[in-house]
Chain A
């Protein structure tokens, strides 16, 4: 069994990089209830990070908290913008604005109350992070979070900002 798991694991990892994919068009909510479409996401040709999270997800909150500490530097050095998509549903979506402001996060935050955008982006679980290049293509993605993962992400962002390929 261990052998088959190892073998299959290698198969999975071999396929881990997807092809060219752009951001699908899905309606989301702003924190104050307005409808906004994901196709309007842009950062004037600079890289963008789209992070799926929820207020009840500990690793998600850790990831966004750790990134918040260095977000200023990231934005200054590379012009990157982080968009945080909360998948909190009706039960906890009223928590999102006080939660985000209470932590003084400076991300663009939108709510995906019925997980429509999560499904369209094929996200199995939160946290899940996408890196989008200046032309709107998804060039890298990462699932789960371990302390320090933001450094790997930032290496990618720096490469993109310099116009290098990250593959």
Chain B
């Protein structure tokens, strides 16, 4: 328990040293840090395990020096040991990121670790997300040139971060973006705005496969168009990838492709969005054997709503890089003040619908099974869609201010989630979730927020034996949750929450069946309670909590990690300076 805190003290001393030298040669040093530590107690009822170290901690500190056009930065990261739920490959402490960059009038050059995205990221996106333990930064060089107004050319070369090492593959790429209205004299005052972009990325990895002749250089290209006029915006990108047999696609030689289309229209009080996406065999990593969230060169966004409430996000959808076809639409509308539905303060309504299917795959010939390694795998038509539903999410959210001191957000969600296809177990899970989020300003600066959620799953047939089947709840069954959060602006917050798994099963047979499924254990109606408090001052924050964490999946931007059940004390401290 002492180790991470000593580490943290070290951080503090370092920071003090930094502050003392705040103006080195006229430049300045800024940065941030975060330390999180968690103790682990055993709780066999929820599946929480203890760890030999009793406590584990993740931490980082960024330091940046800038002086005029010059910037340099480093980041220390420490995982002693890596908290449960993050990839344990991070164990250790050290310098995880360092870079230097110079930006002039004409160009900007960066050496060291950098993050870059070409267009929508379909063929290149390196980024980091600490909540996911995700960092696929490139270590190498980047040059960005702006020769004339309306043109940006970016070139990159490097190797990607893999925990404390680098991936074997070398990634190279170039991207160009052209704002036509700035380039073509007659178009500068046009209401039609056009931006065109194109990119090419290639990776190299030596072929040491004993069985197959694998392409050592794999190229991918993408083109994009952005058009806007009078509140209407269209953004579309198509990407194509050459032969790339890998662990992602079971070593098939089929090229990959993807199409993303985003359109939206909005005016004051009204917004409409429609998204379409089609993906076929678009896993693209800088090592063929890489798995999990490692060494991704590209990013394929999930086009479903990124839910903020716990139960609405209980079954999160993640992009299927092997293939998917789907769309999403969302409508935002504000009923104005002093109208029938608007009332005294106006009413905000958001409707969202997303549906994703698998693509349609046909066998190459009668002798080859679909996805057979060493072949082209399968045939598919561009924009094909199979009958296999992966995810359907319908949700509506109403935000209403009732008086100066009362505000309410009501949410309803219906979800059809193909757990068998997406998570490899169970069947279809159909849920109905209702959420009421009420805030009450008791007096100025004092607010109580009451969040209640309830989730019901449908019932599905469960075969006891070849002759009998019973209907039981899908997956974990029904859940209820209550959160009480009391905040005192600008410094304090206190919270109590409980998630309660009240699975209901039809009859005794079903109950016995369920016991059987759960290896003879009695079925427990588990509570997951948490108490938490936090204190913020300026750009610093301390938060402490004690309680139980439900096993689940945490997703940010469609990239997910498994969070195991945990029970214990958690503290997190962060600051920007």
Which residues of A are interface residues toward B (Cβ below 8 A)? 1, 4-5, 8-9, 11-13, 15-21, 24-25, 27, 31-35, 55-58, 65, 89-95, 97-104, 113-116, 119-120, 122-125, 128, 140-144, 146-149, 151-152
Contacts and interface: CB of A to CB of B under 8 A. Distances in A.
A91 B558 contact: yes
A101 B271 contact: yes
Given A1-B1, A115-B127, A146-B488, A91 B303 contact: yes
A60 B453 CA distance: 21
Nearest to B182: A34
B279 to A, nearest CB: 13
A103 B235 contact: no
A101 B270 contact: yes
B12 interface: yes
Contacts of B31: 122
Contact of A141 (B444, B490, B539): B539
Given A89-B301, A94-B273, A147 B576 contact: no
B19 A15 contact: yes
A124 B441 CA distance: 28
A159 to B, nearest CB: 15
Interface stretch (B77-85, B112-120, B208-216): B112-120
B576 A128 contact: yes
16 contacts: A8-B573, A9-B542, A17-B577, A19-B22, A19-B28, A32-B226, A34-B195, A35-B177, A58-B308, A95-B264, A98-B271, A98-B330, A100-B266, A100-B271, A147-B487, A152-B490
B490 A35 contact: no
Interface stretch (B157-165, B420-428, B518-526, B529-537): B529-537
Given A15-B19, A101-B268, A90 B121 contact: yes
A97 B233 contact: yes
Contacts of B263: 94
A128 B539 contact: yes
Given A58-B308, A122-B30, A124-B574, A101 B231 contact: yes
B5 A99 contact: no
Contacts, number: 229
B418 interface: no
A15 B540 contact: yes
The 7 A-B pairs of least Cβ separation, nearest first, read: A98-B271, A102-B332, A148-B489, A102-B271, A101-B266, A91-B301, A94-B262
A78 B337 CA distance: 26
Interface string B1-33: 100010011001001100100110000101110
A116 B66 CA distance: 15
Majority SS at the chain B contact face: strand
B571 interface: yes
Interface in B141-196: 152, 177, 179, 193, 195
Contacts of A146: 447, 487-490, 492-493, 536
Interface of B: 1, 5, 8-9, 12, 15-16, 19, 22-23, 28, 30-32, 34, 62, 64, 66, 71, 103, 115-117, 120-121, 125, 127, 130, 152, 177, 179, 193, 195, 226, 228, 231, 233, 235, 260, 262-273, 275, 299, 301-303, 305-308, 330-334, 348, 350, 399, 439, 441, 444-447, 449, 487-490, 492-493, 534-542, 544, 557-558, 569, 571, 573-577
Contacts of B540: 12-13, 15-16, 143
Contacts of A92: 301, 306, 557
Given A19-B23, A34-B179, A103-B348, 19 more contacts: A1-B569, A11-B12, A12-B12, A15-B575, A16-B575, A20-B28, A25-B103, A35-B177, A91-B302, A94-B235, A94-B262, A95-B264, A101-B266, A101-B270, A103-B332, A114-B115, A120-B64, A140-B538, A148-B489
Contacts of B303: 91
A18 to B, nearest CB: 4
Nearest to B179: A34
Contacts of B446: 148
A68 to B, nearest CB: 11
Contact of B271 (A97, A120, A143): A97
Q: From A19, A33, A99, name the one whose CB has the most chain B CB atoms within 10 angstroms.
A: A33
B30 A18 contact: yes
Contacts of B306: 55-56, 91-92
Nearest to A21: B30
Nearest to B319: A91
A122 to B, nearest CB: 4
B135 to A, nearest CB: 12
A101 B489 contact: no
Q: From B195, B488, B544, B577, name the one whose CB has the most chain A CB atoms within 10 angstroms.
A: B577
B557 A17 contact: no
Contact of A91 (B62, B177, B231, B557): B557
B490 A98 contact: no
Nearest to B23: A19
A115 B55 CA distance: 31
B447 A147 contact: yes
Contacts of B125: 90, 114
